[in-house]
Amino acid sequence: MQRYPRDFRGYGANPPDAAWPNGAKIAVSLVLNYEEGSENNILHGDGGSEAFLSDIAGAAPWPGMRHWNMESIYDYGARAGFWRLHRLFTGMAIPVTIYGVATALARNPEQVAAMKSAGWEIASHGLKWVDHRDMPIEEERRQIAEAIRLHTEVVGTPPRGWYTGRCSLNTVDLTAETGVLDWISDTYDDDLPYWREVGSRDQLVIPYTLEANDMRFATAPGYIEGQQFFQYLKDSFDTLYAEGQAGSAKMFSIGLHCRLIGRPGKIAGLKRFLDYARSHKDVWFPRRIEIAEHWAKTHPHKRIERPSQMTREVFVARYGSIFEHSPWIAERAFDLELGPAHDSALGLHNALARMFRSATAAERMGVLTAHPDLAGKLAAAKRLTPDSTAEQAAAALDALTDAEQSAFQQLNTDYVAKHGFPFIIAVRDNTKDSILAAFKTRINHDTGTEFATACAQVERIAELRLKDLLP
């Protein structure tokens, strides 16, 4: 079977109410990446120098050599940038989350002590600040374990959160499988936390950002001056704050680096934004662990049976009757490239409807003729399917007067005689009177028009049935 792993649906059109503490309209999560002393360097056992996220335009690795200028930029982050940011955040009493690379933390004990003294969360940023793209899975698993061990040794407590950054396709699953992390952040796919099922583990994911991020000072297109950074943060904040005021509160992640935003001209934009954000009511500045604790308490995960993960036997048994007496539609749909987007009523309906639409005219006619007459002999004999019985009862078609019953029976007979298939309508969208009116109107249509109308109604009936079963 073909299964597509990416989730394009997420929370869909109606995300949950974040219900941030004290009615906050937005949660602003400030993240400071601490990478100084963990970057690519032959001193660290790497094959060459670092070339990522610095003020050196067009930097490239120097194989087998140290890059003095690159090193000095990272050194600035530790020597000056960190302390400027530390003064800013402690002076404003704004807590932050540190993404701390374990080997960088080990080489910077005074900065670690300052982080702890300030009450900041120190999450793991991996073992080394290197690219994991081509790392063999077992080596990455080993490095994750070593990062947690070294982090615990250096900080005194194990990390409760994780962000690799330059991750591999395996990173999220590997960090989740440790079973010890309250949150992971190696995704950029939402404005709210969400749960990810990894085997038996329900892992909370708190998405991160690469756009509300000072890395844009070191990439193209990017920021040139602090004012540009401020303006982008302000615009993002204003949009999300308004959504929160409208009842759909979100999270706003801001990514920072000591060697970038720690420069005087750049930090001015950040300070301007913090002053602006603090001028608003109902703004929450949490560490990411506080977001995780809130989400776990307020929005605990509930597993559902997912169509895309069912066996063929279960899938057909569960959805084979959605299109009346036509399990072949479910059988064909099972062979499609199903994924998380099809684990909802609308998503699965699309897959089933595709198979109905692509069927031959004779096959579709078979689906139409499988439908019972409305208020017909099968209904009287209580031989309808449970779905059809409930649907007809909802429109009071099981409680007709003798005159109404006679009218329906005559219309059924005349309609089938003219068109060759039963009159089909989504009764849950209608009342007894509107059904009767539609009956009298549609019987006069040409058969081609009625065939198309009946097929559309079959799809609508299927959609309503699925909404009884899936979110």
**What are the catalytic residues?**
371
**C-alpha span between 122 and 114 (Å, rounded):** 11
Q: Do 330 and 315 form a contact (C-beta atoms < 8 A)?
A: yes
User: For 385, what's the count of Cα atoms within 13 Å in the CB-facing half-sphere?
Assistant: 15
Reading the block at residue 5, the tokens are 């792993």
Distances (CA, A) of 376 to 236, 387, 407: 59, 15, 11
DSSP assignments along 70-119, one per residue: HHHHHHHIIIIIHHHHHHHHHHTT---EEEE-HHHHHT-HHHHHHHHHTT
As a three-state string, the secondary structure of 235-265 is HHHHHHHHHHHCCCCEEEEEEEEHHHHCCHH
Alpha carbon separation from 364 to 71, 353, 414 (Å, rounded): 69, 11, 21
3-state secondary structure of 184: strand
**b/e per residue 71-80 (b: at least 16 CB within 10 A):** bebbebbbbe
- Token pair 């057909």 is at which residue? 316
Helix (H) or strand (E) holding 147: helix 137-155
